[in-house]
Structure 1
């Protein structure tokens, strides 16, 4: 994923957010990652509390 984002090839992210605190973990996005604008276009919360979030890239200029 980081390689695709670094080459500006990501149009959509679908993230699953689990309601658990684990402490330290790996960063999903580098601090100096390519900046692109994404908009939350869909969200669904399952009975288990897991949230499925869809972010779609805004139109490129």
Structure 2
């Protein structure tokens, strides 16, 4: 069984990777600890310049 509710991987506008836990959707804004750029988002919309990190998504799938 592949479990997808452990969060999702994203990258800030400067390419630093971060994760959003639980449902994996953006419902809180924060800042990147590496560069200070806006990360996350509100109302399930990513902040401008953020994007899904498909490389990490494919590497970190959880089998239960």
TM-score band, normalised by shorter chain: under 0.3
Normalising by structure 1, report the TM-score.
Answer: 0.25
Higher RCO by CA contacts (8 Å cutoff, separation 6 or greater): 1
Which structure: larger Rg? 1
Normalising by structure 2, report the TM-score.
Answer: 0.25
